[in-house]
Amino acid sequence: MNFWFFNKHPPDPPLIAAALKGRIRSVRDLLAKGADVNVKDPDRGTALMAAASIGHLGIVTLLLSKGASVNAKDKDGITPLMIAMKKGNTAIVTVLLENNADVNAQKEDGWSALMFAAQEGRTEIVNALLNRAAHVNARNQGGVSALFVAVFNGHTEIAKALLAKGADVNVQEEDGWTPLMLAALHGHTEIVKALLAKGADVNARKKDRTSALMCAEYKGHSEIVQLLRRYGAKE
């Protein structure tokens, strides 16, 4: 007797289960027998998402060749591209992009593949997404853009790549933080220089009136304090 109803999650559809376990022969056999390539589990999404999550390029390629939806979303709005990006699997990201994955899809909370790539420090993937016209200034529900995420995590090259593609240097999230304030707070000197070179407002203020200079002074980042003052920062 099957007592799956006592567990948190019921059994996965066979195709998704086979993809999750990396069993490409089973996936091929199920598809040959008429399995729906886009069958969806409420929690896990589709077989393509499952294959992307374990980094199985062969299964990803097979499913796409059989008509798997490259832009399917799970209950949270996550797509196969987002999953592959989070895993840092450049080969799968490339295949998904070649099959017209939507680079500008956003989760329910507004996060995009570009934001995830910036967060994880995936420079190669960030560049691939930007070359596919990813919206560099897309923002999540909190007003955070990919530039914010790159700056917060100290990913200098990614921050520079985003700025080169037109990232808004003076964007403010819901509490008034700017990328410059974050860079100053966390001591990311090279990012501060890049932001200033792109015209960052050195005297922008948060809702509580905090400035980038105050952030740098509070943390004792003397070099950044001097930089900001050189660009006209006021107390």
Question: Which tens digits make up the pLDDT trace of 124-165?
Answer: 999 999 999 999 999 999 999 999 999 999 999 999 999 999
Task: Examine residue 43 and state whether it is found in any structural domain, yes or no.
Answer: yes
Please indicate, yes or no, if residue 178 is contained in any of the structural domains.
Answer: yes
Both tokens assigned to 26: 């089973």
Cα–chain center distance at 131? 15
Q: What is the pLDDT of residues 208-218, one digit of tens each?
A: 999 999 999 99
User: Does one domain contain both 142 and 89?
Assistant: no
What pLDDT is attached to residue 3? 40
Q: Is-contact 86 120, C-beta < 8 A?
A: yes
Structure tokens at 85: 């990006």
Domain assignment of residue 183, yes or no:
yes
Q: Is 2 inside a domain boundary?
A: no
Q: How many domains in the chain?
A: 3
69 touches 40 (CB < 8 A): no
Do the Cβ atoms of 137 and 104 come closer than 8 Å?
no
Share of the chain above pLDDT 70, in %: 95
Last residue of a domain, one of 168, 192, 208: 168
Question: Is 217 domain-assigned?
Answer: yes
Count of CA atoms in the C-beta half-sphere (13 A) of 57: 8
